Chains A and B, each alone.
Chain A
Amino acid sequence: MIYLFCLLVPCLLGNAVLRVFYGKCRTQDITLADSALTGGMVVIGLAEAAHLGAIALGRSFSDCERLFLAGLVVLFIVAVILIVAGKLLKKEDERLREQRASGRKQIQTRDQILYFVFGAAALIQLLLIVTEQKVYFTGDMTAETVNSILDTNAIYQVNPLTGQAYTLGMPLRLKILCLPTLYAIYCDLFDMSAVQVVWTVVPALTLLGSYLSFFTVAKALFPEDVRKRGIFMLFVALLLWVGDYMYGVDGFAVQYAGFRGVSIRMAVLLPYTFGLILRRKWKLVPLCILTEACIVWTLYGMGICLLVTVGMLLAGLVTNRMSNQKELRQKNGIRQGGKEDSL
């Protein structure tokens, strides 16, 4: 049930957000993956708002949960209205359907095999995460924090590691991060333990989110080539599988620490940021930057997503400029060659 909720609700919310941001300009390279990932960021943003509201106003966790659910219901209703209104405006959807139909190519059998093997690899990884529950929690206290929130019905009133009241408190820059509160809400909504949600459900969702993010990159790099997209995703699956040798590497983050903010940033937000930038979907990039600030300790809100955005922008400007200069030189070279010939 929790998996359905965490997959369907973000898809719906994300779809609505994409309609708002791109409306009539939605093109065939905005896919269900974009909806799911955008919706996921919206859910985190909503959790952050509820979390900050509860902390600032000194409200209980129950009040925070009610605020989150109220916001979710409002957004859900707005999303449904936007989607229904969009469907009723037949012109927009007809145009989109025509674009998608013309862009869609028949996947050949050998390419289907690629996607099948990729799917099998991803499924095995998912099953391993869910069944083995191999969790690396050194340096992390998310499960304890969630349990403390559920037990005391308050956010950060007790030290999660001991269960005793704080004497000196905790850093504000950690206090404002919303993931433990979001996980506690899921525990309460679906009557699950902190260990089940934090160490099983969330890592499974992070793995799925990660593959969706990498799929958007594949779409950006090989928009017309289904075969290369499949090969790319297969290599990504292999790299994530074997790249688990050290905490801080993609594969490790996804397989053993998917509940941590840094892992969600590394495996989901950053690949998605690259995917958006490569496809020039700039309106969604600030969402990634803001989401990172909600789940990871950053330098006053400036994190790796912002660094990547600025870096890719500069790289794009420089490479375009160099490319234009090269073309100009080639054109001048041809013209000079033509003049010499005519002389």
Chain B
Amino acid sequence: MTELIRNAWLGWQDYTEHGKMAALLLLALLLYWFGNKRSGSKEMMSRRHTLVSYTTVMTVCCICPLTAAALMAYQTKFYDYQWIWGAVPVTIVIALAATQLWTELADKYTGGDGAGWKRAGITVLFACVIYLCGSMQSAVWDEDEAAQNRQKAERVLEIITENGQNKDICLWAPQGIMEYARALDGSIVLPYGRNMWDGALSAYSYDTYGEEEKMLYVWMCHAEAAGEGEAEYQTETGETKIVTAAECMEMINQFAVTHIILPGNLQQEVLTEAEAHWGIQAEDIEGYYLLCIE
């Protein structure tokens, strides 16, 4: 429970750090409770009152760490803090308050000179406030880099599957290629999957990786970053071990890897060692080196 409360506390900070929809929601609730609630029939007022009352209570529950922790326990630990806000009709209530307020202000300027311009001005003001409380179109993740990686991966995998000629393909490659391999082609097998670097995916399976898979991943990451053939690996017992290219080539055999993609910045001697080990010439594709060792 302590962990849940801590996650609830940190989750609220994170939730309000990137955008201000929560602030807009609180403003909408204040406008409702302290503004003019009498518009429409008794039935409609009752509906709005029920919706906003529920929203107010749930908003408080989502902000207060104790009740937020209870909600997180209810939704199961599989999901993070921000998903409890699904129980709060944030978009609905903000849109409702904005609609009511806009209509009230717009009706004030229905007649007279420049009424149209005044209404337009109110509209622009509302749009600006909402825009400033949102993302302001700043990228949440590096979308351009992701798009480039994906296109590159598509081209590389196309070459590999053409070369593979419908044979079973087991691929070992840098993260940027392996990330898309199984999504683009389900017949490609990998020695380790995205859950090696995306911890959230580990919840989808009870299977875990052995030391060999982790060493292969660490070596490939280091080779891509530094172009070197030796990488430092922290074992489960806390020792620091040096993983060499030769060790990786031995480990690969147990995974029946048929295709290896090495980073284009790899040191020439490491590449030569790999080529000599399998007696094949590396092929230059899209800035990587492809070794077909089937």
Residues of A within 8 A of B (CB): 134, 136-141, 143-144, 146-148, 150-152, 159-164, 166-171, 174, 193-195, 214, 217, 220-225, 227-228, 231-232, 235-236, 238-252, 256, 262, 265-266, 270-271, 274, 278, 297-299, 302-304, 307-308, 311-312, 314-316, 318-320, 323
Q: Let me know if B57 and A315 touch, CB within 8 A.
A: yes
Which B residues between 21 and 80 are near A, CB-CB below 8 angstroms? 21, 40-41, 44, 46-51, 53-54, 57-58, 71, 74-76, 78-80
Query: A146: nearest residue on chain B (CB-CB)?
Result: B186
Q: Which residues of B contact A136 (CB under 8 A)?
A: 140-141
Flag whether B251 is at the interface (Cβ < 8 A).
Answer: no
29 residue pairs from A and B, CB less than 8 Å apart: A134-B147, A138-B141, A141-B194, A144-B183, A144-B186, A161-B204, A167-B207, A170-B205, A170-B206, A171-B203, A171-B204, A171-B206, A221-B47, A224-B41, A236-B92, A245-B138, A246-B15, A249-B21, A249-B82, A250-B90, A265-B86, A266-B86, A271-B91, A297-B76, A297-B78, A304-B87, A307-B74, A311-B87, A320-B46
Q: Let me know if A168 and B206 touch, CB within 8 A.
A: yes
Name B205's contact: one of A168, A223, A244, A248 (CB within 8 Å): A168
CB distance from B79 to the nearest CB of A (A): 7
Bin chain B's interface residue count.
Answer: 35 or more
Interface of A is mostly: helix
Beyond A171-B206, A245-B134, A319-B50, whether A297 also contacts B74 by CB under 8 A is no
| Extra pairs beyond A224-B41, A238-B127, A238-B131 (4, CB < 8 Å) | A162-B193, A168-B206, A247-B140, A312-B50
Assembled-state Cα–Cα distance A77/B191 (Å): 48
Beyond A141-B194, A252-B140, whether A319 also contacts B134 by CB under 8 A is no
Q: Which residues of B contact A239 (CB under 8 A)?
A: 21, 91, 94-95, 130, 134
Query: B14: nearest residue on chain A (CB-CB)?
Result: A246
Q: Let me know if A243 and B21 touch, CB within 8 A.
A: yes
Q: Which residues of B contact A318 (CB under 8 A)?
A: 53
Beyond A148-B182, A250-B91, A278-B50, whether A243 also contacts B19 by CB under 8 A is yes
Assembled-state Cα–Cα distance A256/B146 (Å): 13
Q: Which residues of B contact A144 (CB under 8 A)?
A: 182-183, 186, 193-194
Q: Which residues of B contact A166 (CB under 8 A)?
A: 205-207
Name B48's contact: one of A174, A221, A312 (CB within 8 Å): A221
Q: Let me know if B204 and A194 touch, CB within 8 A.
A: no
Beyond A242-B133, A243-B135, A244-B134, whether A311 also contacts B57 by CB under 8 A is yes
Flag whether B189 is at the interface (Cβ < 8 A).
Answer: yes
Q: Let me know if A323 and B205 touch, CB within 8 A.
A: no
Q: Which residues of B contact A150 (CB under 8 A)?
A: 186
Residues of B within 8 A of A (CB): 14-15, 18-19, 21, 40-41, 44, 46-51, 53-54, 57-58, 71, 74-76, 78-80, 82-83, 85-87, 89-92, 94-96, 98-99, 102-103, 126-127, 130-131, 133-138, 140-141, 143, 146-147, 182-195, 198, 200-201, 203-208
Assembled-state Cα–Cα distance A194/B95 (Å): 35
Query: B73: nearest residue on chain A (CB-CB)?
Result: A299
Q: Which residues of B contact A262 (CB under 8 A)?
A: 79, 83, 86
Q: Let me know if A161 and B75 touch, CB within 8 A.
A: no
Q: Let me know if B190 and A162 touch, CB within 8 A.
A: yes
Q: Which residues of A contact B102 (CB under 8 A)?
A: 231, 235
Q: Which residues of B contact A311 (CB under 8 A)?
A: 54, 57-58, 87
Q: Let me know if A271 and B134 touch, CB within 8 A.
A: no
CB distance from A57 to the nearest CB of B (A): 23
Assembled-state Cα–Cα distance A239/B135 (Å): 10
Q: Which residues of A contact B58 (CB under 8 A)?
A: 311
Beyond A232-B99, A235-B95, whether A195 also contacts B184 by CB under 8 A is yes
